[in-house]
């Protein structure tokens, strides 16, 4: 010990140091200054006031105070893992997307599974849709397939998304319930939104109480486009098929598991990967052209519809394997930012109005959630191919343009002039011809809300149908307002009269009149 000229732990309270061993790194402040004492703040005398001068204390507490970032506005609870995508069947004749060219080639991937409605600390086995978001770090930029474990969605137009989510989340005055489905606001909104009926059949099925993330299917939901080198378009729907098959628990199990182990799904994924039992999915595509799209009564731009696999089989083109857990949950799983608009050359959007709204929403929310337009500098979000542009500055800018040029065109020459456009390799949108008056309109082709709901229900086995009926009775029995229950049953009559009767009986309701088939299409008619 040196002389008393240093401020040192004094007396009996200061004996708990974990002395630095030669092999362990020295504890430092964020500025790199080695720390001698991490147990006691700097005081004026052993029992005196703490000194403002104690930069170590202030830095440590300051940093702790700012540890939380906003949780995702939806899909707050999630769990991610690393892996790879391997192409098994080339799509080179259909798309110029680099990831689909060379059979056997692997592309690094990160996947985050999630529930939608619950908060970050909610239980894994809530009855809820599961997010299935895949980031593929391709050689021509990141491609995010931000999908769910259900192939359809509640609504047809993104303008309804805030209403849907407000109705599903805890009610604003009482701040409960956590469970999305079991309350008046949710069923009130749903019963007034007939386009949600197909989705309701799926979410009342066992699909929303999966056995494991490893036994879930995934779907890109929307119709996308694949573009070849000449700009020719093929419509595509994306499917992930689990190697372990589709497996769910039953409701009684879900309730017990939530009580006994609310981390059931994340623990299962962590344990499986660490045991070398790597989960795997096939990537399948449904490919079709305009003529095929126009052959249906429903619209392929309507996210409440599927294209039946009996009519258009899924072609398997690759596999996704998850083989590495994260090093740090916050850095990777929390900070990962998926966005439907992240597409490389060769992949493009359709005019699905839900998809178009999503393309805006994700980037916008991530600026708030991650706090800076530079969130692409965070390693989990950074592309693994060369990135060069003139974006600069902003909070937490790690990469700025190098040298003098931070604009283009410039005449500085290739040495210092920075990156240039590439008309051949660069991203090009499908040259779709679009014209017409500006309207707020839902087309007639979006109007049938019951046929596919019925198709799904009748495709289920008797025990699966019973589970759907039981789930509806359970969830609707939590609804206090009887008119909301009746309104929902009035839709069920249009889906399956026996199901409607079963649910009405379960709720001790008289069978109401069937719902009017579809909400009238609201139109701003063009000036004649």
Q: Which residues are catalytic?
A: 75, 148
**Is residue 464 a contact partner of residue 494, using CB atoms and an 8 Å limit?**
no
Query: Which lies closer to ligand HEM via its Cβ, residue 147 or residue 170?
Result: 147
Nearest to 168 by CA among 183, 155, 150, 152: 183
Considering only residues 128 to 167 of the shown chain, the ones binding ligand HEM according to CB under 6 A are: 131, 133, 146-148, 153, 158, 161
The site map against ligand HEM for 339-368 (x = CB under 6 A) is ---------------x--xx--xx--xx--
Determine if the peptide bond prior to 457 is cis (ω within 30°): no
Stretch that binds ligand HEM, among 201-209, 333-341, 423-431, 445-453 (CB under 6 A): 333-341
Q: What is the 3-state secondary structure (H, E, C) of 337-387?
A: CCCCCCCCCCEEECCCHHHHHHHHHHHHHHHHHHCCHHHHHCCCCCCCCCC
Provide Rg for the chain, Cα atoms: 27
The verdict on whether residue 362 carries a ligand-binding annotation is yes
Q: Report d(CA 20, CA 524) in Å as an integer.
A: 73
C-beta closer to ligand HEM: residue 96 or 266: 266
Instruction: Give the residue with the Cβ less far from ligand HEM, 111 or 204.
Output: 111
375 annotated as belonging to a binding site for a ligand: no
Q: Give the 3-state secondary structure of 168-233.
A: HCCCCCCCCCCCCCCCHHHHHHHHCCHHHHHHHHHHCCHHHCECCHHHCCEECCCCEEEECCCCCE
Bridge-partner residues for 225, per DSSP? 235, 348
Q: How many helices (H) and strands (E) does the chain have?
A: 14, 10
| Residues 299-328 contacting ligand HEM, CB under 6 A | 303
Is the Cβ–Cβ distance between 233 and 430 less than 8 Å?
yes
User: Which residue lies nearer to ligand HEM by CB, 239 or 358?
Assistant: 358
CA–CA gap between residue 388 and residue 419 (Å, rounded) = 6
Query: In the window 454-493, what residues touch ligand HEM (CB under 6 A)?
Result: none
CB of 302 to ligand HEM, least distance (A): 11
- For the bound state, the minimum distance from the C-beta of residue 44 to ligand HEM, rounded and expressed in Å, comes to 46
Q: Which stretch binds ligand HEM (CB under 6 A): 69-77, 99-107, 288-296, 342-350?
A: 69-77
Task: Pick the stretch among 71-79, 259-267, 316-324, 428-436 that binds ligand HEM (CB under 6 A).
Answer: 71-79
Instruction: Give the residue from 181, 206, 196 showing the smallest Cα distance to 491.
Output: 196
Q: Is 267 annotated as a binding residue?
A: no
Task: Flag whether 369 is marked binding.
Answer: yes
Task: Count interface residues toward ligand HEM (CB under 6 A).
Answer: 28
Cα 261 to Cα 38, 77, 119, 264, distances in angstroms: 35, 15, 16, 5
Residue 358 annotated as binding?
yes
User: Quick one: which of 56, 82, 96, 112 contacts ligand HEM (CB under 6 A)?
Assistant: 112
Which element (helix H / strand E) includes 41?
A: none
- Minimum separation from the CB atom of position 290 to ligand HEM (A): 22
* CB of 216 or CB of 476, closer to ligand HEM: 216
Q: Which residue is nearest to ligand HEM (CB)?
A: 131
Q: Report the site for ligand HEM in 188-247 (rule: CB under 6 A).
A: 221
Does the footprint of ligand HEM cover residue 442 (CB under 6 A)? no
Residues contributing to the site for ligand HEM (CB under 6 A) = 72-75, 78, 112, 114, 131, 133, 146-148, 153, 158, 161, 221, 303, 336-338, 354, 357-358, 361-362, 365-366, 369
- Which residues define the annotated binding site for heme? 72, 112, 161, 358, 362, 369
């Amino acid at each position: 010990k040196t002389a008393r000229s240093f401020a040192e732990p004094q007396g009996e309270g200061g004996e708990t140091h974990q002395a630095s061993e030669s092999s362990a790194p020295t504890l430092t402040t964020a500025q790199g200054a080695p720390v001698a004492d991490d147990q006691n703040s700097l005081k004026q005398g052993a029992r005196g006031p703490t000194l403002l001068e104690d930069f170590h204390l202030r830095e440590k507490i300051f940093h702790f105070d700012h540890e939380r970032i906003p949780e995702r506005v939806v899909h707050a609870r999630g769990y991610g893992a690393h892996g790879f995508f391997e192409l098994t069947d080339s799509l080179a004749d259909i798309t110029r997307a680099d990831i689909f060219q060379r059979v056997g080639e692997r592309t690094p991937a990160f996947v985050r599974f999630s529930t939608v409605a619950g908060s970050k600390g909610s239980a894994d086995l809530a009855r809820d849709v599961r997010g299935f978001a895949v980031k593929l770090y391709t050689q021509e930029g990141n491609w995010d397939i931000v999908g769910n474990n259900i192939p359809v969605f509640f609504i047809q137009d993104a303008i309804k998304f805030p209403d849907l989510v407000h109705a599903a989340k805890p009610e604003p005055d009482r701040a409960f319930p956590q469970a999305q489905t079991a309350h008046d606001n949710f069923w009130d909104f749903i019963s007034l939104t007939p386009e949600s009926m197909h989705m309701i059949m799926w979410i009342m099925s066992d699909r929303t109480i999966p056995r494991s993330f490893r036994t879930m299917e995934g779907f890109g939901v929307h119709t996308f486009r694949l573009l070849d080198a000449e700009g020719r378009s093929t419509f595509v729907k994306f499917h992930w098929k689990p190697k372990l098959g589709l497996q769910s628990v039953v409701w009684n199990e879900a309730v017990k598991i939530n009580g006994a182990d609310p981390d059931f799904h994340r623990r299962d994924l962590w344990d499986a990967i660490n045991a070398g039992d790597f989960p795997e999915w096939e990537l399948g595509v449904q490919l079709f052209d305009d003529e095929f799209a126009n052959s249906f009564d429903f619209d392929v731009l309507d996210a409440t519809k599927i294209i039946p696999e009996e009519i258009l089989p899924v072609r398997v083109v690759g596999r996704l394997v998850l083989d590495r857990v994260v090093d740090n949950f916050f850095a990777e799983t929390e900070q990962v930012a998926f966005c439907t608009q992240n597409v490389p050359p060769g992949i493009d959007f359709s005019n699905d109005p839900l998809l178009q709204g999503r393309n805006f929403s994700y980037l916008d929310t991530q600026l708030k959630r991650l706090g800076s337009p530079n969130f692409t500098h965070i390693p989990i979000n950074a592309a693994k191919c060369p990135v060069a542009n003139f974006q600069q500055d902003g909070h937490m800018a790690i990469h700025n343009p190098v040298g003098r040029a931070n604009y283009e065109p410039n005449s500085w020459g290739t040495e210092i002039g920075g990156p240039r456009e590439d008309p051949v390799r660069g991203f090009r949108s499908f040259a779709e011809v679009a014209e017409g008056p500006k309207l707020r309109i839902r087309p007639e082709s979006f109007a049938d809300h019951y046929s596919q709901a019925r198709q799904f229900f009748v495709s289920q086995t008797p025990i699966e149908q019973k589970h759907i009926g039981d789930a509806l009775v359970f969830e609707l029995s939590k609804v206090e307002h009887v008119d909301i229950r009746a309104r929902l049953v009035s839709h069920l009559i249009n889906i399956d009269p026996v199901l409607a009767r079963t649910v009405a009986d379960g709720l001790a309701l008289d069978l109401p009149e069937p719902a009017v088939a579809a909400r009238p299409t609201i139109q701003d008619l063009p000036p004649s």
